[in-house]
Amino acid sequence: MTVDDARQSLRAELRARRKALHASERIAAANGVAESLEQLADFLVDHRIAGYWAIDGELPLHIVVSNLARRDQQYCLPRITGPRQLSFVPWKSGADLESNRYGIPEPVCTKEDLLEPADLDIVLLPLLGFDRRGGRIGYGGGYYDASFAFLRERSEATRPLLVGIAYSAQELDLIELAPWDVRLDYVATERGLIDCWES
Ligand SMILES: Nc1nc2c(c(=O)[nH]1)N(C=O)[C@@H](CNc1ccc(C(=O)N[C@@H](CCC(=O)O)C(=O)O)cc1)CN2
Ligand SMILES: Nc1ncnc2c1ncn2[C@@H]1O[C@H](COP(=O)(O)OP(=O)(O)OP(=O)(O)O)[C@@H](O)[C@H]1O
């Protein structure tokens, strides 16, 4: 079985695990993650922070978005701009959205609005599974891995910081890393902030 095959079956299990969470756990996690992120000093002062529009049981970021707006920090959402390629667009709560090919809402924008991955300070990444070393399993599109491939050879946290957002129930023991995988610098869950360079 290749890394890709093993991941496919793991994805199904992880989707089921996330789907099974109770509404009360989702509410607690949305609040808890917003608090956990505030333990990261850079998160309170950095200018450009990218998140995602939660779909399919992903951990919702609306509390994070309003906290950032209150501090005048810029919040951005991803836009698919090519094969395995993400760009980012500054977005304020209530601004226009349109659906992408997967039915995920993206900001409506002009070319001039598009920011490249390297322009960001912090990226909050959706995920299906994570481990404490910064391993991440997503939907398998390779969008984040390819867009942030320029960070792959780093040996410490550098900009943009990659922060996985997860329910603690999404933690895995150890994810076998594929050569293209870009490790997370931190993972924020409702239980706290994990520094992936620490272990
Ligand atoms: N909220 C959110 N936005 C995001 C991501 C994400 O994971 N979550 N992405 C993170 O990369 C990018 C989109 N990547 C995606 C990759 C695969 C599928 C997906 O649903 N794949 C289906 C197969 C669909 C098809 O073949 O057309 C599947 O897995 O069943 C969705 C999004 C950018 N925006
Ligand atoms: N830098 C890259 N260059 C070329 N192909 C890549 C690159 N990164 C990932 N891929 C391809 O993308 C596919 C999906 O990768 P992976 O399973 O790691 O996605 P994921 O992290 O689960 O998804 P996503 O990042 O979209 O949330 C892999 O099969 C791999 O072949």
Residue with CA at minimum distance from ligand 2 atom 15? 142
Which residue has a Cα nearest atom 1 of ligand 2? Answer: 146
Mean pLDDT in each 10-residue stretch from start to end of the chain (199 residues)? 85 97 98 98 98 98 98 98 97 98 98 98 98 97 98 96 98 95 98 95
87 phi/psi in degrees, rounded to 5: -115, 175
Give the model's pLDDT for residue 4. 81
**Is 88 a pocket residue for ligand 1 (Cβ < 6 Å)?**
no
Query: What is the pLDDT at residue 47?
Result: 98
Q: Report the distance separating Cα 196 and Cα 199, nearest Å.
A: 6
Residues 6+ apart with CB under 8 A from 113: 89, 90, 107
Instruction: Give the pLDDT confidence score for residue 88 in this predicted structure.
Output: 98
CATH C-level class of 3-195: alpha beta
- pLDDT on residue 5: 83
Q: What is the pTM of this model?
A: 0.96
